[in-house]
Amino acid sequence: MAPRATVDVELSFRVTEPGPVAISVAAARADTDELTVSWHGESESVEFEHGTRAEVFELPVGEHRVAYHAERVLGEPEPEPVTLADAAVFTRPSRYCPSDRIAGLVPPELFALNSTKKQVDAIVRYVHERLSYVVGSGRVTDDAIDTLLAGAGVCRDFAHVCIALCRVLDIPARYVGVYAPGLSPMDFHAVFEAGIAGRWYVFDATHLAPRQTMLRISTGRDAADTSFLATLGCELDFLGSTVFATTDAALPEDHWAELVALG
């Protein structure tokens, strides 16, 4: 029997000015899932590409709690094709991945490698060795250049640097928010996908959790496209979150150079 992943999330925040809030914590293509908010008002579901989903709530002033539960059977998904539109969008510079300004920081040996796969593997290896993973490091405004100069970051920073370096080499690369069973400390996690031989494959320069059991939440150019909580006219104070992502089977060993597709 195929292993099953289970996700449980709680978010809490205080709304100080009423208005709409977009919550994007749904696991893509979950077999079963349920999202509840402590205020029982109407919501509107917004669907994006790649299984990304946001629930928009009109919330009054006060403290609110969001609870989300999902389950999904894990398998070996077919890698998504890289469309012409993907190639056009995901090779461009973006807010946190300024590939037009980072070219001078690209290790020159990357240009000499004779295949896209070798280039992506070399980028992942370089970022893994170049950066220190430090919980709480960096600022939410840091882009890939800031992270490289600082020499440290968290998962989103590792992903941004890898994406920017891929785009310098004209390799399509996109940011993915995921649930990652095995991650410690447990939280939302960020990885990236690169286009290799016309298909999307997932990579993680942090090496903190196996890619085979990750569940996609959201996909975009960088972290600016993939926030799990966004205000659409209201004001709020974020109070905290808890995330649990587990599987009912032993975690696989990830051989980091192998190609893995994300469902």
For residues 38 and 90, membership in a common domain is answered with no
In the chain, % of residues over pLDDT 70: 100
For residues 153 and 188, membership in a common domain is answered with yes
Share of the chain residues as helix, strand and coil, in percent rounded to the nearest 5 = 20, 35, 40
The neighbour count for residue 188, using CB atoms within 10 Å, is 20
Cβ atoms of residues 33 and 69 within 8 Å? yes
What are 204-263's pLDDT values in tens digits? 999 999 999 999 999 999 999 999 999 998 999 999 999 999 999 999 999 998 999 998
3-state secondary structure of 32: strand
User: Could you tell me if residue 22 is inside a domain?
Assistant: yes
3-state secondary structure of 192: strand
Cβ atoms of residues 208 and 180 within 8 Å? yes
User: Could you tell me if residue 263 is inside a domain?
Assistant: no
For residues 118 and 15, membership in a common domain is answered with no
pLDDT of residue 168 exceeding 80, the answer is yes
Q: Enter the DSSP assignment of 81.
A: B
What are 107-132's pLDDT values in tens digits? 999 889 999 999 999 999 999 999 99
Task: Identify the domain containing residue 36 by its residue range.
Answer: 4-74+228-247
Instruction: Find the CATH number of the domain harbouring 209.
Output: 3.10.620.30
For residues 170 and 237, membership in a common domain is answered with no
The more confidently predicted of residues 136 and 124 is 124
User: Could you tell me if residue 261 is inside a domain?
Assistant: no
What pLDDT shows up at residue 50?
A: 78
The domain total for the chain is 2
